[in-house]
Chains A and B, each alone.
Chain A
Amino acid sequence: MTTGAATPHRSPLTPQRDSFWYLVHAEWTKFRTVRGWVIAAGATILVITAFAFLAGTIRGGCAVSSGASGAASAAACPAQPTGPGGEPVVDAFYFLHQPLTGNGTITVQLTSLTGQVAIGPGSNGQSQMGPGLQPWSKAGIIIKEDTSQGSAYAAMMVTGSNGVRMQWDYVNDRPGLPGSVSASAPRWLRLVRDGDTITGYDSADGKHWTPVDTVTLTGLTATVQAGLFTAAPSNGNAATTTGEFQHIGLSWPATGWTATNVGGTGPNGVGQPGTFSQSGGVLTVTGGSGDIAPLIGGAGVISVQWELLGTFFGLIPLIVVAAMFITGEYRRGLIRVSLTAAPRRGRLLAAKAIVIAAVGFVVGVVAATLALAVGTPLLRRTGIPVWPVSLLTEARMVVGTGVLLALAGVFALAIAIIVRRSAPAIAAVILVIFVPYLLTVGPLSGGHGREGGGGLMLQVTPVAALAVQQALPKFYQVTGSYSVTSGYYPLAPWAGLAVECAWTAAALALAIFLLRRRDA
């Protein structure tokens, strides 16, 4: 401000010019009139979409030891059965069954659940077996549409260490009585079929019954197969599960048991055929390795998440542009003009952040929509089952990608204000986002193959936001490798985004503090 007698001339300030949205509009004009920045934003869309075309090449093969080309290994993949919901499933177990037409009830008492697991290498290439149970080794009763893989079912079972469970149609699981089964603590299980609804009950004494759940298996045929089963989930290792059944009660005239190894002993079938024996009212059923469960990620099932792999690539031009959005002002001295026009510095920063966030969001939403639209049909052509996702999940992935890019842009903007130089700022942002991911999955991660660490890096760094793109659900009832390269992140989708949000908020707070405190 000048001092002295003369009053300096001030052009009249229209109220509109003082409004915040006027400032946002000014910043938007700065952004859209720089051709290189608009091209970079377009490049982000292009790169993310382009990678949807490559998803099939990158993820479209089965697990092969080595040597085979991508195309050859894809052709060698065994066809996976799919469940009623279209999801790829494991359906391989030992089934003692008889036909049930119309309504009916099956009741059993289980007094023992034991098993054998591989405890070390043995002779002749066979594993040495010893007693042991997996947490989800299971034996119980099941009503299943037919003995083909992937058909609808509902089952009551006792498990290795998860108590009594009711499971149906592969992906659903409800807990019943806790605790493990023994002769002194037997478990009674009952399934009641009424049309296409099935109700599961459990009981500790055979007198007092508790309903576990009632489920509807839409379109269940009149004649179904009902009976006893055992399965030993073992992640490909040799294993068996043995259940001892007593007091078997059928509401229909019994026709004698037919034994079936569902899935056969082929690539998707049981590890070894099951056996059963009867003595003194006790039916002992032993099933080989297998499971009745959804197939979890890895090489056997593709997640549509991989169609968004280009997000990593698209982030780079966006980060560069977001940083230049402010460092360009410092470099050319435009920042002094900007701060003269908008002396409230926090507002200027907010306007810039809104413009970059809007650009990032729109770019992310458009890119993710395009990527999912072109990517999914291409992935299906690889022949590997694609995990079906609901429209809601797709919407979460699309909107989440938009928010992820918006936050990354604002984060880069804030770091650029703190550093005031483009190259160090961009390097810092890329470092914080990319290196934690690389340290988790890259060649330095150590351990076996590519996966390392407990995913801590993906819980505390901005790259945690990638969780919003996860398309595979985790299943409590399936033990397996829920790893990043299989398509699972350690955090829930929105929690991951919240971590990135926290980083952005912290950087923005520091940026506002420094921008107010420092000379421009």
Chain B
Amino acid sequence: MTLAVRVFPLPHPLGQALRAAAAALRAEWTKFRTLAEPFWLLAGVVALTVAVGAVAVSGARCSSASCGVDPATVSFTGIYPVQAVAAVVGVLAVGNEYSTGMVKVSLTAMPRRLTWLFAKAAVLTAPVLAASALAVAGAALAGWLILPGHGFTPAHGYPSLTTGTDLRAAVGAALYLTLIALLSLGVAAAVRNSAAAIGLVLGALYLFPITAAVADASNPTLARHLDQIGPLSAGLDVQATIGINSLPLTPWQGLGVVALWTVGALLLGALVLKSRDA
């Protein structure tokens, strides 16, 4: 660092940090946009969310006022499989650096490791959020077009599928996918191996609800707690539009739990990156 300062004297340490951050962002963005893989994966996120959502809403029926089917949850069924794709995007953002040895070059060019990591996270956020928003909008549109014809009518207690609650569910779903991608990035930075990282992330996502489902018949208290701490089920709370009072968490609390997982993973990744040899 002292060397860099001597070669490129800069007027102010803050300006220097900002320039470094801007350069890091530009470099990471170049890496991201010049790879075909993330583009196709994100295209897959959009296509799969809309396709699964369209199939799910086509099969959904509401025949009475108390049918208890959540139109948003049905429309966003695709989030279940698609979060695995978002996780792959997040894992590969860091995992590729380690698997190709690129990380040595990156860290030589950018010795401030945390700047590098957070530039990666920032660069990942924008396209994933855009793809998620597109995916969720497509799925919501499918639901909005199809569900009223399947009994989701004002007579059955669904006055409109474009209320503030529905908007919250859609925004929450898109934010959820983005948080999962960032969570995966953090885990990949911590374990530095794509395969192990994706195993850990998907384990954390899918194993909590599976255990909760098995426990539900005999130990509902445990099932509820598992639903509160598991990122997947907590993330589903923000996508709910009916039965809000019986959810394990309030919608925004649910998203908050996911955010805590993400922050924890990113901090862990930062800690490992800072303290270990690359």
Binding site for B on A (CB under 8 A): 36, 57-64, 66-70, 73, 298-299, 302, 306, 309, 312-313, 316-317, 319-320, 323-324, 327, 331, 384, 421-424, 426-428, 430-431, 434-435, 437-439, 441-444, 446, 448-450, 485-486
**A320 to nearest B CB, angstroms?**
4
A320 touching B195 by the CB < 8 A rule? yes
Contacts of B30 in A (CB 8 A): none
B215 touching A58 by the CB < 8 A rule? yes
B218 touching A58 by the CB < 8 A rule? yes
A70 touching B217 by the CB < 8 A rule? no
A485 touching B214 by the CB < 8 A rule? yes
B219 touching A444 by the CB < 8 A rule? no
Contacts of A299 in B (CB 8 A): 217-218
A69 touching B221 by the CB < 8 A rule? yes
A426 touching B198 by the CB < 8 A rule? yes
**A497 to nearest B CB, angstroms?**
20
Contacts of B139 in A (CB 8 A): none
Binding site for A on B (CB under 8 A): 41, 68-69, 73-74, 77, 80-81, 84-85, 87-88, 91-92, 95, 99, 194-199, 202-203, 206-207, 209-222, 227, 233, 236
Query: In the bound complex, what is the Cα–Cα distance between A70 and B221 (angstroms)?
Result: 7
**A246 to nearest B CB, angstroms?**
45
Beta-carbon nearest neighbor of B92 in chain A: A423
Contacts of B88 in A (CB 8 A): 423-424, 427
Please judge, given known A-B contacts A70-B219, A309-B211, whether A423 and B197 are in contact too, CB under 8 Å: yes
Contacts of A73 in B (CB 8 A): 218-219
Contacts of A63 in B (CB 8 A): 217-218
**A308 to nearest B CB, angstroms?**
11
In the complex, which of the residues A298, A309, A331, A422 contacts B217, with contact meaning CB atoms closer than 8 Å? A298
22 A-B interface contacts by CB (under 8 A): A58-B218, A58-B222, A60-B219, A313-B207, A320-B199, A327-B195, A423-B92, A423-B195, A426-B199, A426-B202, A427-B85, A427-B88, A430-B199, A431-B84, A442-B209, A443-B213, A446-B68, A446-B69, A448-B68, A450-B213, A485-B214, A485-B216
A430 touching B222 by the CB < 8 A rule? no
**B54 to nearest A CB, angstroms?**
16
Contacts of B210 in A (CB 8 A): 312, 434, 437-438, 441-442
A319 touching B236 by the CB < 8 A rule? no
Contacts of B95 in A (CB 8 A): 423
Query: In the bound complex, what is the Cα–Cα distance between A332 and B195 (angstroms)?
Result: 14
Contacts of A446 in B (CB 8 A): 68-69, 73-74
Contacts of A298 in B (CB 8 A): 217
**A340 to nearest B CB, angstroms?**
23
Query: In the bound complex, what is the Cα–Cα distance between A85 and B51 (angstroms)?
Result: 51
Beta-carbon nearest neighbor of B74 in chain A: A446
Please judge, given known A-B contacts A299-B218, A449-B216, A485-B217, whether A331 and B99 are in contact too, CB under 8 Å: yes
A68 touching B221 by the CB < 8 A rule? yes
Please judge, given known A-B contacts A320-B196, A423-B91, A443-B209, whether A434 and B221 are in contact too, CB under 8 Å: no
Contacts of A424 in B (CB 8 A): 41, 88
**A46 to nearest B CB, angstroms?**
14
Query: In the bound complex, what is the Cα–Cα distance between A70 and B223 (angstroms)?
Result: 10
In the complex, which of the residues A58, A302, A324 contacts B195, with contact meaning CB atoms closer than 8 Å? A324
Please judge, given known A-B contacts A60-B219, A320-B199, A426-B199, whether A431 and B81 are in contact too, CB under 8 Å: yes
The 5 tightest CB contacts between A and B, nearest first, are A422-B195, A441-B213, A320-B199, A423-B194, A61-B218
Query: In the bound complex, what is the Cα–Cα distance between A422 and B96 (angstroms)?
Result: 11
**A350 to nearest B CB, angstroms?**
23
Contacts of A60 in B (CB 8 A): 218-219
**A325 to nearest B CB, angstroms?**
10
**B57 to nearest A CB, angstroms?**
12
Beta-carbon nearest neighbor of B95 in chain A: A423
B218 touching A59 by the CB < 8 A rule? yes
**B250 to nearest A CB, angstroms?**
16
**B266 to nearest A CB, angstroms?**
18
Query: In the bound complex, what is the Cα–Cα distance between A439 and B222 (angstroms)?
Result: 20
Beta-carbon nearest neighbor of B202 in chain A: A430
A450 touching B219 by the CB < 8 A rule? no
**A234 to nearest B CB, angstroms?**
20
Contacts of A422 in B (CB 8 A): 194-195, 198
Beta-carbon nearest neighbor of B188 in chain A: A423
A316 touching B202 by the CB < 8 A rule? yes
B69 touching A309 by the CB < 8 A rule? no
**A300 to nearest B CB, angstroms?**
9
Contacts of A430 in B (CB 8 A): 84, 198-199, 202, 206
